[in-house]
Structure 1
Amino acid sequence: MNPLRWWNESYKKDLFASRIDTTKALAQAIAASPTPPHSWVLVTGVACYKPSQTAQYTEDSDWTPFDLLSRLVKEWEAAGRLPQDTALKTKQVVIRPGAVLGRDGGAMKQMLTPFWLGLGGTLGSGRQPFPWIHVSDLAGIITHALEPSSDTPSPVPQVFNGVAPANNTNYEFTKELGRVLNRPTIFPVPGFVMNALMGHERAIVLTQGQKVAPERTLESGFQYQYPDLSSALKQIVGS
């Protein structure tokens, strides 16, 4: 598929259907089961939080849909809600990850080649927040959420922000990756170029961001393996 066509109307329709229809079917299967699981974990995203360079969001922050991706998260999480009688038997957890960093896929796989070639640089202004998490820590939060709890299940899902506790900007991420790779980072990509190449809706994911704090994730006792960029990027580049 041509990446420049990912955000056409057909793709948007598939984007919603693949998340919402599948999640709704799973939730309905859990509700219909005579022996529902003790935990039901749904992984969505931090796109629900409106981009801002000043606001900081925790799991308790109020939010309303403001664009395509935030509307997707709203409908996706609604599709995963269990009926009350089932929710009193099955613990519901929603995990909202930021950019998931790992060598074998996702954003890092696309970024490593230009950085290795010395063509890495900030995206847009570079001042935008860059909520991220190492893939091993995301897997750890999911495992942590699946564990049985002594708390009485609630009809309201528990929310964990799946981000590292470090609050970094795109500039800080870019410079740290360049340092770990021992490569220059002198080729910023202006926002208007990102918009022209990818379209506004897709480019905004990279040129704007949110300060997201994993407040409840930390309060739950989860221990991060990679809480800072240096440790995360060294493990990824060295693996």
Structure 2
Amino acid sequence: MHEILLSTYVADFFKYATPAEQNYLKIFFSGIFPLIAQQFKYAKIDPHVRSRELKDALNHLEWAGLFKPVYASAASGIPLSAQLKQNRFKLLFLDVGLVQHALQIAPEKVYAKDLIQINRGAIAEQFVGQELIAYSDPHKLEGLFYWQNEKVGSDAEVDYIVTNEEQIIPVEVKAGPTGKLRSLRQFMIMKKAPLGVHISEAILSFKDGVLSVPFYLISKLPEFFEELLSSK
């Protein structure tokens, strides 16, 4: 079924694009899945194809609802879109199951300890992005954002940043139950965030300003925020 769905998307290129556009759409679609949830560069799709052509292909696929950009934001205030970096973004596909299939990862292998960590991380980040979209307010079309420390020599990055009323909250995703949260804590200090969120396989807990949430409770984030932040 997954293969049929992916093949159907490719077949639709012939219905809505010119012959030249079809070629670039196929090039983009065939090369994008290993790059899901990574900082995107057109050259990573195909270094021999002009970025302009691939950008047009991405625009078509985004308009069709197949891909969702996650833009970098300085996150110094609300709205987050006011400080987004237009040329710095990651891409999410519309369905994590299709991403797994495109990467040839069997569902039962997603939580295998010997699975290449970069794939586990990308799949986890894709899943969380989907959940954040699914449970967001449909009347607010702000989109998804992440944060990078732009200081020279720093590699700090927070997977997602979300808002709750006037507050900005960092969200770090870990494929496994444990992991260091240096970037999350760095953001909390720099931006004076009221709390941080760590999404993983770990059980629900709250310690030292960090709310640990298992993947299956992402839909409850608004309720957790209301409970934890109502007194702040």
* TM-score calculated relative to the size of structure 1: 0.30
**TM-score normalised to structure 2 length:** 0.30
Higher RCO, Cα 8 Å, sep 6+:
1
Identify, as 1 or 2, the structure richer in strand. Answer: 2
